Amino acid sequence: MLRTFLKFALAGSLALLVVSLWLSEALPPPAELDSALLREPIQRLAQERAFDTTVGGITYTVKPLYRYEITGLVVSRHDAGSWRDVLHKDWNDKLNVADICVVWGHNANTGIYRNLSFWNGQFTCNWEAPSMEAYEGFDETAISNNHLLTANTHTARRIREARVGDQIRMTGMLAEYSHNHGFPFKRGTSITRSDTGNGACETIYVEDFSILKTGGGPWRSLRWVAGVLLFLSLLGWFFQPPRFDHT
């Protein structure tokens, strides 16, 4: 009886875990988006001078170009500190915490983002449309891949907490940054939303980062519930008393 129960518990918790992982980062419908996502990013000339900041023993020079504020829906993201990111490691780039790709404006208002697939590379955001109609309905000036920089540990933690499906707002500065730790390194920024391809990403020195609304509904909590149930089911299975067949 117990063995049968554990079999069902294992299968059920595994199925719940798979489904909750899949749906926890589903993109919400337009009706659930904050009205702030319909606005264009705000950009004005920066008055701040270049400054130095140190992260992980490396000193970077940050040159602000524009003050910047953007509110958008996260459609893809990449943690620059992940084990599979070799480029940031090779570049000694510890100031770039994460890349977050967001949509806003027309793309948010029409819900066209729900018809496309999005994914991040080590420094790019990519999307794919299932049809020419979906491709033509997508506004390429209302999506951006944002290289997010910060030396503040609290801000870095908030940035890393953001997930696909979250609605976020961030303020800071479009900036160039560089270091000379072993070799010269410099990275620039786009200053317009109309460019595409190499160099079209916004590099933002983040001063404030907030999650306006988390996505995923109850599925994010259910991931942990399913994980605990799966662990307990496996534990119960392995600690069952041995069975002996009598002949």
3-state class (DSSP) for residue 161: helix
User: Higher confidence at residue 43 or residue 91?
Assistant: 43
pLDDT tens digit sequence for 36-60: 999 999 999 999 999 999 999 999 9
CB 170, CB 148: distance < 8 Å: yes
Give 227's pLDDT tier (boundaries 50, 70, 90). Answer: low
Buried b (16+ CB within 10 A) or exposed e, 64-98: bbbbbbbbbbbbbbbbbbeeebeebeebbbbbbbb
Please list, in sequence order, all residues whose beta carbon lies within 8 angstroms of the beta carbon of residue 122, skipping any fewer than 6 positions away. 78, 80, 85, 86, 87, 88
CB 220, CB 165: distance < 8 Å: no
pTM above 0.95, yes or no: no
C-alpha span between 146 and 7 (Å, rounded): 45
C-alpha span between 77 and 14 (Å, rounded): 26
C-alpha span between 107 and 114 (Å, rounded): 9
pLDDT of residue 24: 61
User: Higher confidence at residue 112 or residue 220?
Assistant: 112
pLDDT tens digit sequence for 130-181: 999 999 999 999 999 999 999 999 999 999 999 999 999 999 999 999 999 9
pLDDT tens digit sequence for 183-202: 999 999 999 999 988 889 99
pLDDT at residue 84 greater than cutoff 90: no
pLDDT of residue 135: 92
Radius of gyration for the alpha carbons in the chain, expressed in angstroms and rounded? 22
CB 144, CB 203: distance < 8 Å: no
DSSP single-letter state for residue 239: T
SS (H, E, C) 215-228: CCCCHHHHHHHHHH
pLDDT of residue 230: 67
* SS percent in the chain: helix, strand, coil, step 5: 30, 35, 35
Sign of the CA dihedral 215, 173, 99, 92? Answer: negative
Which pair of tokens denotes residue 43? 């950009």
Please list, in sequence order, all residues whose beta carbon lies within 8 angstroms of the beta carbon of residue 4, skipping any fewer than 6 positions away. none
pLDDT of residue 226: 60
3-state class (DSSP) for residue 65: strand
